[in-house]
Amino acid sequence: MLDANLNAQLKAYLEKVTQPIEIVASLDDSAKSAELNELLEEIASLSGQITLVRHDDDKRKPSFAINRVGSDIGVRFAGIPLGHEFTSLVLALLQVGGHPSKTAADVIEQVKNLDGDYRFETYFSLSCQNCPDVVQALNLMSVLNPNIQHVAIDGALYQDEVDARQIMSVPTVYLNGEVFDQGRMSLEQILAKIDTGSSAREAQKIKAKDAFDVLVVGGGPAGAAAAIYAARKGIRTGVAAERFGGQVLDTMAIENFVSVDYTEGPKMGAALEQHVKNYDVDIMNLQRADSLVPASDATGGLVEVKLANGATLKSKTVILSTGARWRQMGVPGEDQYRNKGVAYCPHCDGPLFKGKRVAVIGGGNSGVEAAIDLAGIVSHVTLVEFDGKLRADEVLQRKLRSLPNVDIIVSAQSTEVLGDGQKVTGLVYKDRVDGVMHSLELEGIFVQIGLLPNTEWLKGTLELSPRGEIVIDERGQTSLPGVFAAGDATTVPYKQIVIAMGAGSTAALSAFDHLIRSPLPVATEREAAAA
């Protein structure tokens, strides 16, 4: 079932298994069960530490558990974890088999100390690039703490459950039978939701930190590049990020990053974080900036960044790289039916709409690519564009127009998302030529209308453009001395990963130049005198 190369790679990984594993399969007479059995037999043949047994006792068939022999440690998959979830399968085999996780020791200890019983269920799709992070985090938690159980469920394979629970977005996580959360989550984010005291403890740690030379706010490509370039100068560097990796984590295929033919967003995000960790950088993840206080005599000549958890970080210079997020339509019903038919990631959620009718909002490259991808899954796609024509590349438009189950509507203003209280049932739009209102009967709406900078917290503090972007000069300098900015949150004309990285590097070099040309802040002078 696995090709020769993948088989050889898996065999090499399984040599790291130090404790015996038992794979317990629950199968029936279906073709998918036969396919899963073939995969499990192949895995078992690659290591003397792995045995395969069949009990057929689980309610979900096909499914299988990976258990450590002689213990209550294990994880379960309901489905065939290939595609994006193959890595989750490999990690589960290794971790159940005794291979230690590279997760930070304090995080591991936090998981082990959790009290109570936790029964998690995660619905994923094999095409979802956001799902593996969640599956892997919960799998690890179940390995570390016997009071935690986790089953990862392929939503496309268990469509009856998806329909019954009205799941329209993956990953969707249930805890003890109730919806826990939806969307990409890291292990730390999951812990923060469960361990309610963790935020306050983290705030106390942050409050005790000394002032930085360079504080980077944001952990996407621009922020990572800025942190690396600053740290290489040998100055005290910190990164406060709400989600390290930023929006790149939500990107599927990346084929325009020079020197790399192809990669995927989560893989690049992990590489960015690891590269930063190679340097002496204080990374503070899951930290949302709430306000910026310019340097003044009252702050001791330091710039202050106040965080949502109540802590305050101080620095001689600050680099703002908060990035951008998917732009919403801003119409009635959109928020109400978010993840209940309104979606923003066609790769993640597309398989949940198999055989259904959907609309794609937006006629740029992202919108047209989404419509093309969805056309191979759903029964019908209607692309709705505000402008009088599509703005996507001509090659994409030709492909789109060649598809028999796609309609294109231009000069259309979306005005309302309709629903029955539980899920999306339609979309109302106005013909911008004649003003006539129309409605489409739909089960899903995928919004692809560009980006919105994450700068609301900066309003009134520094200069923003009419579009809410941070105004910068050619050196990344903002309207505030000692405060620089880079990436998609700024007025840089093209929002591309490679451009954001270059801008982050520029901002860091500019911050360093500012430091060496500026007098010592008052606080630093006092510290020097005391020493």
pLDDT tens figures, 301-341: 999 999 999 999 999 999 999 999 989 999 999 999 999 99
Confidence of residue 250 (pLDDT cuts 50, 70, 90): confident
Q: Is residue 520's pLDDT more than 80?
A: no
Burial of residue 326, with CB atoms counted within 10 A of its CB: 0-12 exposed, 13-18 middle, 19 or more buried: middle
pLDDT band at 95 (very low <50, low <70, confident <90, very high): very high
What tokens were used for 48?
């003397």
DSSP SS3 for 341: coil
pLDDT digits 0-9 by tens, 398-444:
999 999 999 999 999 999 999 999 999 999 999 999 999 999 999 99
Going through 481-528 in order, the beta strands assigned E by DSSP cover 483-485
CATH class of this structure's domain 208-325+452-530: alpha beta
DSSP category for residue 298: G
pLDDT for res 521: 63
Give the model confidence (pLDDT) of 435-489 as tens digits.
999 999 999 999 999 889 999 999 999 999 999 999 999 999 999 999 999 999 9
* CATH 3.40.47.10 corresponds to the domain 4-198: no
Q: 295, 292, 243, 315: which is closest to 272 by C-alpha? A: 243
CA dihedral for 43, 45, 48, 54, sign (positive or negative): positive
Q: pLDDT band at 529, cuts 50/70/90?
A: low
105-112 vs 131-144: helix axis angle to the nearest 10? 60
First to last CA, the chain: 67
Looking at the DSSP assignment, which residues form a beta bridge with residue 446?
343, 360
pLDDT computed for residue 253 by the predictor: 80
Identify the three-state secondary structure at position 342. strand
For residues 347 and 361, give the distance between their C-alpha atoms in angstroms, rounded to a whole number: 15
Instruction: With a cut of 70, say whether residue 229 has pLDDT above it.
Output: yes
Confidence label for 374 from pLDDT (cuts 50, 70 and 90) = very high
Q: What is the side-by-side order of every strand in the sheet holding 437-441?
A: 412-419, 424-431, 437-441
Which residues are within 8 A (CB) of 521 and not within 5 positions of it... i.e. 6 or more apart? Answer: 211, 295, 300, 301, 302, 316
The answer to whether residue 525 scores a pLDDT higher than 70 is no
Architecture of the domain spanning 342-449:
3-Layer(bba) Sandwich (3.50)
What residue ranges of the chain are covered by domains with CATH 3.40.30.80? 4-198
pLDDT at residue 220, as a whole number: 97
How high is the pLDDT of residue 522?
Answer: 56
Q: Which residue has the tokens 């600053």?
A: 230
pLDDT, tens only, 343-368: 998 988 999 999 999 999 999 999 99
pLDDT band, very low/low/confident/very high, at 530 (cuts 50, 70, 90) = low
pTM over 0.85: no
| Residue 519 confidence class, pLDDT cut points 50, 70, 90 | confident
Query: 476: which DSSP letter?
Result: -
Residue 439 is given by DSSP the state E
Given a cut of 70, whether residue 528 has pLDDT beyond it is no
Question: Mean pLDDT for the chain?
Answer: 94
Assigned token pair, 384: 């709705």
Looking at residues 195-216, what average pLDDT do you find? 92
Residues of the chain with CATH 3.50.50.60: 208-325+452-530, 342-449
Q: Beta strand pairing status for 172-175 and 118-124?
A: antiparallel
pLDDT at 129: 87
pLDDT of residue 198: 85
